[in-house]
Chains A and B, each alone.
Chain A
Amino acid sequence: MQSQRELCSFPIAPSHKSKLTSAGFLITEDLKHLKPSELSKETGIGLEECLEILKLVCSESVDGSKRNEAPKPAVSALERLKEEQSLPPIITFSEGLDNMLGGGVPLCKITEFCGAPGVGKTQMCMQIAVDVQIPSQFGGLQGEAVYIDTEGSFIVERLVDIAKATVDHCNEMARLEGFKEGEITVESVLSGVHFYRCHDYVELLATVHLLPEFIKKHPKIKVVLVDSVAFHFRHDFDDLSLRTRLLTTMAQSFIKRATEFKIAIVLTNQMTTKFSPGEDSRLVPALGESWGHASTIRVILYWEGQKRWAWLYKSPSKKESRVPYQITMGGVRDIVTSPADNSNDQSDDEPSSKRQKVS
């Protein structure tokens, strides 16, 4: 038996809600013993829709467990702790970065990488798309990745480079530890990345909407990457109110999928300049403050001196910190510093014209 609940707190279409209200149905009790045909006659709503409404409202009183969209019951923090500890993170190949993030990119959360152009966001995404496929005997997740490209910056040859380096590394580890080599190959890595190219924000929203079906068909998926989420929302988007609504809806959709399927969501964001009166202008992540609250973990990538740095700006469990990293032929790596080594010839295969100062 459930106590009374207003009908307008259910997800019913606004037109139906107004018809229900004008016919005098305000709380669940009012609909209790009605048949769909009776409801349809009283309110003027179509028969099928009446059936849907009654199913929605009345099945709630039977524990709510019949609806597959029903919220999960409350769990104690102790059980949550056990759940969190049982989900391994996705390791990047940079130990500094992994330590900063608490082991790697975590599952069931949204991680956002923000940065100016050229700092390595796409490289990071490609690295993660490969790392999620590392076999479990090497501490990896042995999963697959969904890569949603909105900017067109995805280049397969680069993914092949990163895959080759990772495969070589795995085979090397296999040799040292006596495992079978060839568990992971460049072909298997490439076929484990499901690629979507979205040309405008409608395509992006549609892809995100269809994600649950896709993930159910490919249960090995462990990460969804979107590079970048800002692109289509920044150009020619006049209605800022609509933008906030779309972005926040998308964010909630992402966090739902992340916790439902126990996957990691990785997003990249661009930077924009913020002008404040009386202060210097500075670079901040794009898409505004409301978007800032969407991601669980935010990492800002920037240049300082001659090095790339990753700054953990927002995290639910780790302290704010910064680590340097580099982009090599094989992907994202730590910077190997040695006192006698002034010129890292391995680092920064980007031309020096790309180096920018981030204020």
Chain B
Amino acid sequence: MGQSIVLHPWRGDSPTPHSNDHFLSFLKSTPKEGLNELLDGGLYTSEVTEIAGEISSGKTQFCLSLCVSVVMKARQNVVFIDTCGGFSADRLTEIAESLYGEENLEHILQSVKVIEAFDIFHLMTALQTIKDKMVKKVDPFYDTLKLLVVDSITAVIYPSLGGQQMDGHGLMVQLSLKLRHLAADFSLCVLATGGKTKIGITEKGIEDWT
């Protein structure tokens, strides 16, 4: 994977985040200058960027805002792969309308395509389909595709990870390779969201503490 960002939700009544993690205060109305600085200029194409964070820290919201930015500022298309049911067209509309007004709304909504893939094999099929469409150049939408969002990647990887078989690890590596190839071969910016886990080393070996 390329860069990693960790988001922490900042709630007034919750304890302060750990000092050695990146701390981000996510306010929907401010432009993402601070974030751009953190990422050394922004999100790069030809790279896979991962956003990790706790529940409700703003990962999906970040992705939706980014979709709107890419469509309006970079004038390119976006594919949003939803693996956990968190995509809300309503919310995308809200963000688009508040930033760019009603006149641009239809254009923005038509420049974002949503694919549902609730298990890892469907996700692989979806990625293969995207690759085919970009290679064959029959669908004009994919000619100007710049951003690919996968929300969230842990949802499809967790069910096969761990246990006696090592199959899950193989699938995870395959998925990561597929994403990287897509990013590199077609100069896409690939954004993947995930949850945070702590890896603990106990008598049983390496275990996931979630």
B-contacting residues of A (Cβ < 8 Å)?
2-3, 5-6, 8-11, 14, 60, 64, 69-78, 80-81, 83-85, 102, 108-110, 240-242, 244-245, 248-249, 251-252, 255-256, 258-259, 276, 279, 288-294, 296, 298, 313-314, 316-317, 320
Chain B contacts with A in 138-162, Cβ cutoff 8 A: 152, 154-156, 158-162
Q: Are A289 and B113 in contact (CB under 8 A)?
A: no
Q: Would A3 and B113 count as touching, CB distance under 8 A?
A: no
CA distance A294 to B86 in the complex (A): 10
Contact (Cβ within 8 A) B88 A290: no
Question: Within B62-88, which residues are at the interface with A (CB < 8 Å)?
Answer: 79-80, 83-88
Query: Among the interface residues B80, B116, B135, B196, which one has the most CB atoms of the partner chain A within 10 A?
Result: B116
What residues of chain A lie closer than 8 Å to B109, measured between beta carbons?
76-78, 81
Q: Is the CB of B158 within 8 A of A80?
A: no
Q: Mark B90-124, 1 if CB is under 8 A from A, else 0.
A: 11111000000000001011111111111101101
Q: Interface on B for A, CB 8 Å cutoff?
A: 15, 54-56, 60, 79-80, 83-94, 106, 108-119, 121-122, 124-126, 128-129, 131-132, 135, 152, 154-156, 158-163, 165, 167, 170-171, 174, 178, 195-197, 207-210
- Asked if B162 and A84 make an inter-chain contact with CB atoms under 8 angstroms apart, the answer reads no
| B207 lies within 8 A of A241 (CB) | yes
Cα–Cα distance between A229 and B204 once the two chains are bound (Å): 27
Q: Considering only CB atoms, which chain B residue lies closest to A292 in the complex?
A: B55
B121 A248 Cβ-Cβ under 8 A: no
Besides the contacts A75-B113, A77-B89, A289-B210, what 14 more A-B pairs have beta carbons closer than 8 Å? Answer: A2-B132, A5-B128, A6-B174, A9-B121, A73-B115, A74-B113, A75-B114, A78-B109, A81-B90, A109-B85, A248-B158, A252-B159, A255-B85, A314-B56
**In this complex, which of A80, A110, A244, A314 has the most chain B Cβ atoms within 10 angstroms of its Cβ?**
A80
Taken together as a complex, chains A and B put the C-alpha atoms of A75 and B111 apart, in Å, by: 10
Check B55 against A8 for contact (C-beta < 8 Å).
Answer: no
CB distance from B132 to the nearest CB of A (A): 6
A81, B89: Cβ atoms under 8 Å?
Answer: yes
